[in-house]
Structure formats: structure tokens, C-alpha cells
Amino acid sequence: MARRIRLAGTAAILVPAALLAAACSSSSSSTTSASTSTSAPASASASAAATPSIPAAPSSGTLTETGSSVMFPLVSEWQKGYTSAHPGIKISTASTNSGTGITDAGQGLVNIGASDAYLSATQKSDYPTLENIPTGVNAIEVVYNLPSLTAPLNLSGTVLAQIYDGKITTWNDPAIAKLNPGVTLPSTTIVTVHRADSSGSTVLFAQYLNAQDATDWPSSLVASTPTWPKTSGALAETGSGAMVTGAASKVGSIAYIGDSYSSKISAAKLSVAAVLNGAGKYTTATPAALTAAVNSFPPAPASGSESLINTSAAAGYAITGYEYADVNTTQSSTTQADLIQNFLYWAITTGSSPSYLGKVDFVALPTPTFNVAVNLINKITG
Amino acid sequence: MAVPALRRGGGAGSRPRRPGGTTSSLGRWLRGGGPIRAVGLAGAVVPGLVLIGLLVELIIKAIPAIGYSGLHFLTSSTWNFGSQYGTPVTTNGLVHAPGEEFGALPQILGTLATSAIALIIAVPVSLGAALLIAELPRRLAGIVGGFLELLAGVPSVLIGLWGALTLGPIVAAHVSPLIADTLGRVPGLTGFFGQSTGNGQGLFTSGLVLAVMVIPIIASTSRDLIRGVPVLTQEGAVALGMSDLECVRKVTLPWIASGILGAVVLGLGRALGETIAVAMVCGVALSSLPTNLYGAMITIAANIIQNLETAITDPLDISAFAELALALMVITLLTNVVATLLVRRVSGTALPVGRGL
């Protein structure tokens, strides 16, 4: 009897959630903008068709998460929102790095491993039951510390690759000047800042450099811990927060940081560059640019693994990617599996409303990827 | 089992017992003392077994990487975790990312260099401190010595944090430029001490942080050793008209030389294996040797903790990490053996006054 009531309660919770998801996804999909207001509930019921297998949250339980420092601010918000709706649930989150998220989730040390990068082939073969579930769309921003400049700089993948491999060493290099006509560049030495730990941000950034300039940034340098070419005075930092403070500590520095750190980036008086995309346009990581980027790619495959780098949409931002929750589909108990499923479904519906994603400048999943995510969530069992 | 039984039954004293018959004498020893001896024996065997087990495990794990890299491991400066998103390749039965390369020279040299810097700074400082504490009035000596022991107990992560947040910036802003302006101007030393003074994360800061951790070990051991020098001998030296300095140089230090060497080895062991504090201030330069004293570098231990998450999903990376661990173990064991030999040589000679007063 009690179970029946709980089920009814869940249905009551899930229906508005599904509607909200449809609202979110319809706002982020560029095709058939507001043409059919009736088709949105239709697609909601299509995704709602999969929802009956999303179980209710157990009355008490603990959920553990570690990984991506880019995703950490969002997971902290989710923690607050979800636990206030489910007072019996405790969620522990940790800001480490994507590599830790993947391995800890794969080894069963935590329930959810957050990662900015999808699983590589080796990681898949190491952890066959680990699935990467898309939970949102984020961007990596290129920031620099040049207080003398006011207008944002334009930077391309080639110039960034040559900065990070040591070919360009000063800010007034002709290659940078060429991208920024009319800007008086200082002769300050460039200090490159990169992640010292196993980072999904590094993967996305390196994928972008490689996509734009495979000679200066060969595919052998696309990894979570690439062999950084030697540049004079380079800084290596652990975690996104340390990237901000590291870049702020040296005038002339350049760094790549997840857009969930935007407020900290501006508080540290760092500037954000406009980055060249695959269409030859310079854009910054606005929500509209992220949406344009994600919509320019084909729908995510069933595995959820898809690169959103170097978009061909003119308005799109070039260094974009899905944020992933890496979850082992075989959990210790049915109750634990129920909790994870319920939480993740909540995260991509209620937790993907603008009041959550707006704080970290992420955008919600487009409808096809949302459905992929729901299917992946459904795979989790006890 | 049959042999001792036979012996026991073999007539009272009719056959002379072999004095060195290990099995029988061990068996007799065990039987003689009751269960406590068996427990003691088991306890005594465990450390040896653990060490041997560790070595065997590391060697087995490291074999694929040893085959993959060969001597390259010791001579190359390029460490590459490979292209994670490339198509995996198979070498010696291990599936791994393409383009992996394991040149550990920077890490091995980094491990040795940071420890060397730490000892160069710590040994004179510790000896000075120990000599002074031994001369101080008892109550004051207790206070100063107490601080020394407190410092020895500070967790290394705190020292690392202090190194990264406080010491590093001070070194970058003041100490490194000062050294570059003085030693860096001496002809011949410009390359190592001069030029770019870095950002406070690197070889020099790592050495300083290690020195802070090593000083209390060497100083408190030396203090106890100095206290053990017989007063009569020192009084004799003073009676011969020696000054304080001469007394220290000719009597105190030679008397405790072997003990100090032992203390230095203890400190060296700590410095070689120190992980987290160095990882926080070394600058994490995995694939390049520092060009000068201030450059970013990495040690074996710091690499293992910093990049384990990258390596753990790739069997060949893990094998290379096992090889690194093996290298660190060999370095530590070698320094221990060399030190033991040195201690033996020093304690065998160079004592100007007879022992056992």
C-alpha cells in the first residue's frame, strides 16, 4: 500500500519534471522553434514513455560523487536542491579531476564520477560496465592576464597551439597581432598555465588545438595528461580553481578553464578570449553559442560519447563538450541503483532548469541527447 | 622433521652434534621457549617477507614496461602517457594507448637533486643547531629541542601547503633573484644559478621544503649523539688548551661521526621518498630537465601521486609506474647500503680518543 502511494507520488513528481525537460529541450533545439506548441508535450510523452522505469528515490541513502572540477560547482548546487527535496538522502561531492572521476566510478569507489571528457577506448575496455551519461553542455574558456588590454582578444587554435608549444613567446607576436587588428599588444612574455592532473578540460582544449592545427598540435598530444611541450616559465596547476589563481598570479599568463568558473575568472580580473570556430568566426562561450554549437553536431550516439569540438556553426562556440556522469551500471544494491537513477533523472530535468545551469553557464541537453541519457540511466541496476 | 627425530633417538651423546645444524638448533630453540618464541619468530620474518614480496610484485608488474622501454627508461627525457583517444595498440599482450613513451631521466635526476639540495642545506644547519642545543642551559635546551621535535611531527602536507602558498612566492620574489645576482654572476656558475628565476615552483623550492622536513630528523639525532660524548674527554680537550671550535672539531664531531652519518641517511631516506610536499611545489614538469636551479621539475614519488589517475586505466602505464617504483626502491636501498658501509668505515677509524671511557 505504502509502495503504491509512493509510486503515485513519484508519478506526480515526474510529470512536471518531464514537462520541464521538454520545455528545456525545446528551447535549446534550433529546429522548429515555436512552430508547434503541441509537439513539445508529444516529445515529452515520448521521453516520458521511458520514465516509468525511473524508480522513486529511497527514503534514505547516500550518494557519492567525485571528479571534474568544472562540474563541481553544478553538482554542489544539485546537492543542495536534491537533498532539500529528499531530506533522507545525503550526497557527498568532491572536486578532483575527470581522471579521478572515471577511475573511481569504474572501480566502484564512488557512485558517480564526473568527467568533462567521454570515455576513451582503453577506459571502456578497462571498465566494461561503466557508462558515460551526458548531463549538460559546457565550454572551456581561454582566459588571459593582460590588465592593460580592455577589448577581448581573438585567438585561433593555431595561435594557441603555437603558444602552448613554445613557438609564440610574447603577446605582441605578429601571429597574435594579425588576429587582432587595431589592438596595441604589450611585449609581455606569455606564461602558459596548464593542468597538472588528469583533466577533462585538458582533453577538450587539446582536441580543439588538434582540430584546428594538427601540425602544431598532433593527435599524440590529445590526452588528459599530454606531454606538454617545454615553454619557459610554464605553470602547472591542480584543479580548475588553481588554474584561476595560477593565471591571476602572473601578468602575461594564458589558461583554459571551464565556464563554470566564469564568476571566479572575472573576480580574478582575468579576460576571456573570443575563440575561432570551425566556421571561421570568433565567439565567446555564451549560452546561445553553446546551444548553436551542440545543435550543429549530429545527435549523440547511444553510448553518449560524442565530441562537440570546433563547430561549423557560425554562432557556435568552438571548445564545447558534454559533461558526463560516469556510472557503473551494476551497483551494490537495488536501493542504491534506484537512488542513482532518481538523482540523475532529476539532474537532467529539474536540475537542468535555468536556475541551476544559469549559475554555471552550462546549457541543457538537446532532446535527442536527453533521450540517450534517459536510456543510459535506465541501464543502471542493483 | 625426520632428521631431528632421528637425532633425538640416536643415543645420549653417542654422536657429536653439529654445532651449526640450523634446522635442529632452530627447532630446539623454538621448543625451548614455548609459544612466545614462535610468535617472535613469525614477527621477525614478516618484515623480510613483506620486502621480498613487494620487490617480486614490482618486478613482475614492471616486466612489460622494461621490455617496452629498455634502456630508454634511464636515458630519455620524454614521458608520454600516449594518445588516450587514439586507437589502442597491443604490445607484449598489453592493450594500451598509442604513442606511449617512458623516459624517466628527469624524475630520477629530480629525485636525487632535490634530496641533494635538501642535505646540502640541512646538514650544516642541523649540526649547528644540535651543537648549540647541547651547550644551552638545560631548560632552554629543552624548549629549543622541543620545537625541533614538534617540527619533525608536522604532517608533510602542511609543509607542502606552506611551501606552495608562502615559501614559493617568497623564493620567487626575493631569494632566487638574490642568488641569481650573486652566485649567478660567478663565471662558470651562470648557467645553473643565473638566468630566469622561475615562478617559485621548482627544484630550489622543492629542495628547501625537503630541507625543512629533514632538519629536525638530523638535528634531534645529532643532539642526542652529542649528549652522549663523555664529559671527561671534552674536559681533557679543554685542559689541553683547545678552544670551543677546536674541541668540537677534534673531539665531539669525530666521536659522533658515524652516528651523524646514520642520521643523515635517515634524513635522506625521508627526502627521497617524500611525496605530497614535493608534488605541491615542484611545478610538475614531467618531460623536461630543469635548465637551472629554479626550473620546474618532478620527482618519482611526485609523478606517481600526481598522475596515477591518468595511468591507472592503461595497463602499460601502470607497468611503467611499477618500474618507477622499482627505480625508487633501488635508489633508496642503494643509498642505505652505501651509508651502512660508510658508517662501518667511519666507526672503524678516525677516533682520536679511545672508546669505552
Q: How far apart are CA B35 and CA B18, in angstroms?
A: 25
Q: Is the pLDDT of residue B6 over 90?
A: no
Q: Is the pLDDT of residue A288 over 90?
A: yes
Q: What are the chain B neighbours of A238 within 8 Å (beta carbons)? A: 306
pLDDT, tens digit (0-9, with 9 covering 90-100), for A346-362:
999 999 999 999 889 89
Question: Per mean pLDDT, which of A44-48, A50-54, B45-49 is the most reliable?
Answer: B45-49
pLDDT of residue B37: 82
Backbone angles phi, psi at A143, to 5 degrees: -120, 155
Cell of A157: 587554435
pLDDT of residue B250: 87
Q: Is the pLDDT of residue B26 over 80?
A: no
- Any residues with CB less than 8 A from the CB of B239 and at least 6 apart, and which? none
Q: CB distance from A103 to chain B under 8 Å? A: yes
Q: What are the chain B neighbours of A226 within 8 Å (beta carbons)? A: 80-81
Q: How far apart are CA B337 and CA B342, in angstroms?
A: 9
Q: CB distance from A94 to chain B under 8 Å? A: no
Mutate to test the interface with B, among A120, A123, A199, A210 (most CBs of B within 10 A): A120
Contact B310 A198 (CB under 8 A): yes
Mutate to test the interface with A, among B284, B304, B318 (most CBs of A within 10 A): B284
ipTM greater than 0.90: no
Q: Is the pLDDT of residue A344 over 90?
A: yes
pLDDT of residue A366: 94
Contact A120 B201 (CB under 8 A): no
Positive or negative: CA dihedral A321, A322, A323, A328: negative
pLDDT, tens digit (0-9, with 9 covering 90-100), for B275-326:
999 999 998 888 888 888 998 899 999 999 988 888 888 889 999 999 999 9
Q: What are the chain A neighbours of B310 within 8 Å (beta carbons)? A: 99, 198, 223-225
Task: Kindly list the domain boundaries of chain B, sorted by start residue.
Answer: 107-315
Closest chain B residue by Cα to residue A126: B313
pLDDT, tens digit (0-9, with 9 covering 90-100), for B242-264:
888 888 888 888 888 888 888 89
**Consecutive H or E run containing A6:** helix A2-28
- At A208, the pLDDT band (50, 70, 90 cuts) reads very high
Query: In CATH terms, is domain B107-315 a member of 3.90.79.10?
Result: no
Question: Per mean pLDDT, which of A5-14, B13-22, B303-312 is the most reliable?
Answer: B303-312
% of chain B exceeding 70 in pLDDT: 90
Closest Cα of chain B to A267: distance in Å?
20
- Any residues with CB less than 8 A from the CB of B14 and at least 6 apart, and which? none
- Any residues with CB less than 8 A from the CB of B285 and at least 6 apart, and which? A230, A234, A236, B106, B202, B295, B296, B297, B298
Q: CB distance from A309 to chain B under 8 Å? A: no
Q: What Rg, from alpha-carbon coordinates, does chain A have?
A: 21
- At B348, the pLDDT band (50, 70, 90 cuts) reads low
Closest Cα of chain B to A56: distance in Å?
34
Cell of B320: 611503467
Q: Is the pLDDT of residue A205 over 90?
A: yes
pLDDT, tens digit (0-9, with 9 covering 90-100), for A74-123:
999 999 999 999 999 999 999 999 999 999 999 989 999 999 999 988 88
Would you tell me the crossing angle of helices A2-28 and A39-48 to the nearest 10 degrees?
130
pLDDT of residue B170: 94
Q: CB distance from A113 to chain B under 8 Å? A: no
pLDDT of residue A260: 92
Closest Cα of chain B to A297: distance in Å?
19
Q: How far apart are CA A373 and CA A324, in angstroms?
A: 10
Q: A 245-274 residues with CB below 8 A of B?
A: 249-250
DSSP calls for A95-148: B--HHHHHHHHHTTSSSEEEESSPPPHHHHHH-TTEEEEEEEEEEEEEEE--TT
Q: CB distance from A232 to chain B under 8 Å? A: yes
Over residues A316-328, mean pLDDT? 96
Q: CB distance from A68 to chain B under 8 Å? A: no
Mutate to test the interface with B, among A209, A227, A232 (most CBs of B within 10 A): A227
pLDDT of residue A44: 39
pLDDT, tens digit (0-9, with 9 covering 90-100), for B70-94:
999 999 998 988 887 888 888 888 8
Q: What are the chain A neighbours of B309 within 8 Å (beta carbons)? A: 96-97, 99-100, 102-103, 197-198
Provide residues of B within 8 Å CB-CB of chain A.
78-88, 95-99, 101, 169, 196, 198-199, 201, 283-288, 296, 306-307, 309-310, 312-314
The amino acid occupying position A315 is A
Q: Which residues pair with A327 in a beta bridge?
A: A131
pLDDT of residue A122: 84
Contact A198, B310 (CB under 8 A): yes
Contact B98 A220 (CB under 8 A): yes
Contact A102 B196 (CB under 8 A): no
pLDDT, tens digit (0-9, with 9 covering 90-100), for A216-272:
999 889 999 898 988 877 888 988 999 999 999 889 999 999 999 999 999 999 999
Pairing of strands A191-195, A253-258: parallel
Q: CB distance from A198 to chain B under 8 Å? A: yes
pTM equals 0.78
Closest Cα of chain A to B267: distance in Å?
28
Q: How far apart are CA B279 and CA B13, in angstroms?
A: 66
Residue B88: closest CA among A121, A337, A334: A121
- Across the interface, of B79, B84, B95, the residue whose CB is closest to A224 is B84
pLDDT of residue B19: 52
Q: How far apart are CA A321 and CA B156, in angstroms?
A: 38
Mutate to test the interface with A, among B85, B90, B161, B197 (most CBs of A within 10 A): B85
pLDDT, tens digit (0-9, with 9 covering 90-100), for A164-204:
999 999 999 999 999 999 999 999 999 999 999 889 999 99
Q: Is the pLDDT of residue B33 over 80?
A: no
Q: What is the 3-state secondary structure (H, E, C) of chain B?
A: CHHHHHHHHCCCCCCCCCCCCHHHHHHHHHHHHCHHHHHHHHHHHHHHHHHHHHHHHHHHHHHHHHHHHCCHHHHCCCEECCCCCCCCEEECCEEECCCCEECCHHHHHHHHHHHHHHHHHHHHHHHHHHHHHHHCCHHHHHHHHHHHHHHHCCCHHHHHHHHHHHHHHHHHHHHHHHHHHHHHHCCCCHHHHCCCCCCCCCHHHHHHHHHHHHHHHHHHHHHHHHHCCCHHHHHHHHHCCCCHHHHHHHHHHHHHHHHHHHHHHHHHHHHHHCCHHHHHHCECCCCCCCCCCCCCECCHHHHHHHHHHHHCCCHHHHHHHHHHHHHHHHHHHHHHHHHHHHHHHHHHCCCCCCCCC
% of chain B exceeding 90 in pLDDT: 39
pLDDT of residue B17: 52
pLDDT, tens digit (0-9, with 9 covering 90-100), for B145-192:
888 889 888 999 999 999 999 999 999 999 999 999 999 888 888 888
Contact A192, A234 (CB under 8 A): yes
Cell of B43: 614477527
Closest chain A residue by Cα to residue B317: A122
CA distances from A138 to A116, A259, A361 (A): 8, 7, 7
Q: Poorest-confidence range of A226-230, A245-249, B27-31, B217-221?
A: B27-31
pLDDT, tens digit (0-9, with 9 covering 90-100), for A144-153:
999 999 888 9
Closest chain B residue by Cα to residue A250: B199
Q: How far apart are CA B96 and CA B310, in angstroms?
A: 12
- Taking all residues of chain B, what is their mean pLDDT, rounded to a whole number? 85
A-B Cβ pairs (cutoff 8 Å, strict): 104
- Across the interface, of B199, B312, B313, the residue whose CB is closest to A250 is B199
Contact A338, A58 (CB under 8 A): yes
Q: What Rg, from alpha-carbon coordinates, does chain B have?
A: 26
Over residues A134-141, mean pLDDT? 95
% of chain A exceeding 90 in pLDDT: 71
- Across the interface, of B97, B198, B310, the residue whose CB is closest to A99 is B310
Closest chain A residue by Cα to residue B287: A227
Contact B285, B196 (CB under 8 A): no
Mutate to test the interface with B, among A198, A251, A308, A326 (most CBs of B within 10 A): A198
The amino acid occupying position B304 is I
DSSP calls for A307-370: -EES-SSTTS-SEEEEEEEEEESB-S-HHHHHHHHHHHHHHHTGGGSHHHHHHHT-BPPPHHHH
pLDDT of residue B308: 86
Q: CB distance from A191 to chain B under 8 Å? A: yes
Q: How far apart are CA A112 and CA A131, in angstroms?
A: 10
Q: Is the pLDDT of residue A51 over 90?
A: no
Q: What are the chain A neighbours of B84 within 8 Å (beta carbons)? A: 120, 122-123, 203, 222-224
Buried b (16+ CB within 10 A) or exposed e, B234-251: beebeeeebeeeebbeeb
pLDDT, tens digit (0-9, with 9 covering 90-100), for B186-211:
888 888 888 778 788 899 999 999 99
Q: Is the pLDDT of residue B12 over 60?
A: no
Q: What are the chain B neighbours of A102 within 8 Å (beta carbons)? A: 309, 313
pLDDT of residue B233: 86
Q: Is the pLDDT of residue A35 over 60?
A: no
Q: CB distance from A215 to chain B under 8 Å? A: no
- Taking all residues of chain A, what is their mean pLDDT, rounded to a whole number? 86
